[in-house]
Amino acid sequence: MNSPRIALCLAGLGFIAAGAAAQAQALDGTLKKVKDSGTITLGIRESSSPFSFLDDEQKPVGYSIDLCLKIVDAVKADLKMPNLNVVLQPVTSATRIPLMANGTIDLECGSTTNNVERQQQVSFVDTTFVTANRFVSKKSAGLNKLEDLKGKTLVSTSGTSNLKEVTEINGAKSLGINIVPAAEHPAAFAMVETDRASAFAMDDILLYGFVANAKTPANYVISPEAISIQPYGIMLRKGDAAFKKVADGAVVAVFKSGEINRIYAKWFLSPIPPKNINLNVPMSEALKKIIASPTDSGDPIAYK
């Protein structure tokens, strides 16, 4: 017959085992996927400077990657997996959402606009940057607004909200602009450089980077008129509340601690690779607003 002490010990072990089983059962979605595989996969862009790009040693770096790695640290702590393997998977504007949906990547660390339409397919961590859709052209062309592009060629990157937006405006206003897609941002800017397109429509913060790195930056101008506001968010799978809670918590912690100021200064107020050019873009009032009051809204009005 078991002694009371042995019985109590067995009961305690049973309670611990039940608790562990309940915890394992409660784990689902991306957190379970990461726990089971021992790996978290980050989708990264190779040419979206300064958010996600390759430095002079072909290493992925950038503002969004730094923030994603903060989320990875939070996941490691939450799952008690300090040695979690981190895989960096290149994605493009066209492949990022499909690769998220099919489970290839767990976070997308690039320059992705959070809008209501995309929220039908994926979710976003609290917004990490606010930019605007504008276009870059050569100063000699004298282009200031979309209406000035009538009869001319405008390029934008395939799979972006920018391309969709200018296409819709072109049709709605019968502007007569010839709009063409490019596979990636560098190819689009190259079309303007070589006069195969009069302008390149994209988020202004990305355009600043292309102009700064151009052979003759003084030859280019970014349109003064914003076509729309574009909030950026780190993308994750839709309906994964537990994973989003961990990710949001990590981003909010960076905001509240003030560490966001150091990360921002590193990429927007300091020389960055590969040419050590300083974009010298001060933090906008819109970004300061969301740092003070984080939101994952896909409505541009929330950022005005």
pLDDT in tens, 198-254: 999 999 999 999 999 999 999 999 999 899 999 999 999 999 999 999 999 999 999
Counting the structural domains of the chain, the total is 2
Q: Average pLDDT over the chain, rounded to whole?
A: 92
Euclidean distance between CA atoms 238 and 83, whole angstroms: 27
C-alpha neighbours within 13 Å on the C-beta side of residue 71: 32
pLDDT at 173: 96
| DSSP 8-state assignment for residue 81 | -
Residues 80 and 34 in one domain: yes
| DSSP 8-state assignment for residue 113 | B
Residues 64 and 210 in one domain: no
The answer on pLDDT for 257 being more than 50 is yes
Residues 142 and 225 in one domain: yes
The answer on pLDDT for 163 being more than 80 is yes
pLDDT at 25: 52
Residue 211 structural domain: 133-229
pLDDT at 26: 78
Residues 47 and 87 in one domain: yes
Task: Report yes or no on 11 lying in a domain.
Answer: no
Band (286; pLDDT cuts 50, 70, 90): very high
pLDDT at 304: 86
The answer on pLDDT for 133 being more than 80 is yes
Band (19; pLDDT cuts 50, 70, 90): very low
Band (41; pLDDT cuts 50, 70, 90): very high
9 contact partners, CB below 8 Å, separation of at least 6: none
Residues 92 and 218 in one domain: no
β-strands 60-61, 199-203 pairing: unpaired
- Type of residue numbered 236: L
Euclidean distance between CA atoms 32 and 51, whole angstroms: 28
Please identify, among 196, 229, 262, the residue that sits at the C-terminal boundary of a domain.
229
- Type of residue numbered 232: Y
Task: Report yes or no on 242 lying in a domain.
Answer: yes
Query: CB 193: neighbour CB atoms within 10 A?
Result: 17
CATH code of the domain covering residue 255: 3.40.190.10
The answer on pLDDT for 295 being more than 60 is yes
Task: Report yes or no on 124 lying in a domain.
Answer: yes
Beta bridge partners of 179: 154
> Do residues 179 and 166 touch, judged by C-beta distance below 8 A?
yes
Beta bridge partners of 61: 53
Q: What is the mean pLDDT of residues 81-95?
A: 97
Enter the tokens of residue 247.
Answer: 């990710």
Residue 293: C-alpha distances to residues 64, 98, 126, 161 (Å) = 19, 31, 10, 25
Residues 249 and 276 in one domain: yes
Residues 123 and 145 in one domain: no
Displacement of CA 212 from its chain's centroid (Å): 21
> Do residues 84 and 201 touch, judged by C-beta distance below 8 A?
no
pLDDT at 3: 53
Please identify, among 204, 229, 254, the residue that sits at the C-terminal boundary of a domain.
229
Residues 86 and 170 in one domain: no
Exposure letters 248-269 (e unless 16+ CB within 10 A, then b): bebbeebbeeeebeeebeebbe
Residues 112 and 259 in one domain: yes
- Type of residue numbered 123: S
Euclidean distance between CA atoms 21 and 14, whole angstroms: 10
Q: What is the mean pLDDT of residues 89-112?
A: 97
Residues 117 and 258 in one domain: yes
Helix axes 259-268, 63-79, angle to 10 degrees: 150
pLDDT at 214: 94
Residues 188 and 218 in one domain: yes
Closest listed residue to residue 51, CA positions, set 60, 67, 64: 64
Q: Which helix (H) or strand (E) holds 167?
A: helix 161-172
pLDDT at 8: 44
Please identify, among 205, 229, 253, the residue that sits at the C-terminal boundary of a domain.
229
Residues 69 and 195 in one domain: no
Closest listed residue to residue 112, CA positions, set 177, 68, 54, 56: 68
> Do residues 281 and 269 touch, judged by C-beta distance below 8 A?
yes
The answer on pLDDT for 155 being more than 90 is yes
pLDDT at 20: 44
Helix axes 259-268, 241-257, angle to 10 degrees: 80
